[in-house]
Amino acid sequence: MRRYWFASIIGLAMGYGMLITMVYGLMFASENPAVKDMANNAINGILGFLIGIFAFGIVGLFTQGIQGMARTGELEQLCLSPFGLVANFLARSFVAAVNSILSSTIMLILVAATVASGSLHMAPVETVVLLGLTYVNLIGFGFMVGGLVLIFKQVGQVAMIIRFAMIGLAIFATEGIAQWPRVLRWLAHFLPITDAAICLKYTLIQGQQKVVDLIPALDEAGVPRLDEAGEQIMDPVFVFSSVFVHQSFFFLLISCAIWTTVGITCFRYMENWSRDRGTLGAY
């Protein structure tokens, strides 16, 4: 980013302008409360999209990176390195991820500072920590998918489907998965992006506030408010609860440990399998 600072600034400005245009366009398109609710959902989706794009890029470092090095012959040269493929790819992905995390953090902080309605909340420390854990969580998944490239070579289409699926999962991941059937709930927690997206949305959209009670909504005269069906309207009572004690945060930590261990182990196995058959550098 320092070397190409002008291009980086232009890229941030363009992304920020597009995002703010979408957010404000949806928020002030109409005074209809129903449209306002749709705008809030749209903001939630936009944040999920940014998280998904981050995951899209991290996984692509392994799939497209290995394919590109296999084409140019660089992969065989890396195999001669005393550090091995795993260490080399960890270093490459870390450098690229730092740039991506920094850009994503700047983007989210700027959007949070600009949207004065409280739709987004500034939390730079929590955001950096969660994005860092998201990167660690995606390393294992990326290594596992990258290992498939070493064996099957032409898996670009499958890898692209997986990456787009992660964008969709990041957009639609909410705390509502707690109401899903047990099997689907555990499957959602098992996927590498679900809990990261939930934690980031909880931090930046909900402001680390959770509902602890419901109280009757009163008008200016102190009279309980009723909806169109004649039922009493209830207002939620929020209290601050750090994302670091959120249930999904603990699932994220467990997922980081599992995916990183399994992914690197599978990558090493596939690397050795490809070495034994002499197809490591073939494409």
Residues 91-110 have pLDDT tens digits of 777 877 777 777 777 776 67
Mean pLDDT for 44-53 is 78
pLDDT attached to residue 283: 46
Q: CA-CA distance, 268 to 84, in Å (whole number)?
A: 10
pLDDT band at 23 (very low <50, low <70, confident <90, very high): low
What letter represents residue 100's amino acid? Answer: S
Indicate if the pLDDT at residue 278 is higher than 60. Answer: yes
- On whether the CB atoms of residues 49 and 261 are closer than 8 A, the answer is no
pLDDT band at 166 (very low <50, low <70, confident <90, very high): confident
- Pick from 20-29, 58-67, 78-87: least confident: 20-29
pLDDT attached to residue 253: 92
Which residues make beta-bridge pairs with 235? Answer: 215
Count H helices, E strands: the chain? 9, 2
- On whether the CB atoms of residues 201 and 44 are closer than 8 A, the answer is yes
Residues 229-267 have pLDDT tens digits of 767 777 777 788 888 988 889 999 999 899 888 888 888
- On whether the CB atoms of residues 149 and 215 are closer than 8 A, the answer is no
Mean pLDDT for 192-205 is 87
Q: CA-CA distance, 206 to 4, in Å (whole number)?
A: 35
**Coil, strand or helix at 211:** strand
Indicate if the pLDDT at residue 17 is higher than 60. Answer: yes
Instruction: Name residues whose C-beta falls within 8 Å of residue 148's C-beta, 6 or more positions apart in sequence.
Output: 155, 158, 159, 270
Indicate if the pLDDT at residue 2 is higher than 60. Answer: no
pLDDT attached to residue 42: 65
Percent of the chain beyond pLDDT 90? 2
Residues 106-159 have pLDDT tens digits of 776 676 667 655 566 778 888 888 888 888 888 888 888 887 777 776 666 777
Indicate if the pLDDT at residue 28 is higher than 70. Answer: no
Indicate if the pLDDT at residue 82 is higher than 60. Answer: yes
Mean pLDDT for 33-55 is 68
Q: List the chain domain ranges.
A: 5-276
